[in-house]
């Protein structure tokens, strides 16, 4: 089963097919949680959408002194610059030095969303 989301763009309508797993993850992210469960601070310095039809949100942020580029495809709004509470949702390190990491950011309204690290720099 797929869930269809409709987004109005100008005079047209864009239909986006969302997988059940993604829809479930998005709906689960709306559960309110305590800010104390988010020990990190993500200092967001910028955000932008991809130019293609997928509307991936890219966020530039500093976490633990490391500049990270994050991405998500479940938010349909830009993030304001500033500080957000965060936590590591998952992390994997390879023997060759590679890694993957997902952060969860907490928003002022109590909702929270997952962001994958897609770039890093000093």
Query: What distance in Å separates the CA atoms of residue 88 and residue 114, rounded to the nearest whole number?
Result: 9
- Segment 20-64, tens digit of pLDDT: 444 444 444 466 788 899 999 999 999 999 988 888 999 999 999
- Segment 112-121, tens digit of pLDDT: 999 999 999 9
The answer to whether residue 84 scores a pLDDT higher than 60 is yes
Q: Please state the domain extents for the chain.
A: 31-121
1-5, 53-57, 80-84, 85-89: the lowest-pLDDT one: 1-5
The answer to whether residue 70 scores a pLDDT higher than 60 is yes
The answer to whether residue 88 scores a pLDDT higher than 60 is yes
The residues, any chain, with a CB within 8 Å of residue 115's CB and separated by 6 or more, are 59, 70, 71, 72, 102, 103, 104, 105
């Amino acid at each position: 089963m797929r869930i269809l989301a409709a987004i109005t763009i100008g005079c047209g309508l864009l239909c986006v097919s969302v997988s059940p797993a993604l829809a479930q993850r998005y709906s689960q992210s709306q559960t309110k949680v305590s800010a104390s469960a988010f020990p990190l601070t993500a200092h967001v310095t910028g955000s932008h959408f991809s130019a293609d039809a997928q509307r991936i949100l890219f966020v530039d942020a500093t976490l633990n002194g490391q500049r990270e580029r994050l991405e998500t495809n479940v938010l349909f709004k830009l993030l304001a610059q500033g500080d957000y509470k965060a936590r590591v949702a998952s992390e994997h390190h390879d023997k060759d030095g590679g890694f993957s990491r997902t952060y969860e950011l907490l928003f002022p309204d109590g909702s929270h969303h997952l962001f994958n690290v897609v770039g890093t720099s000093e």
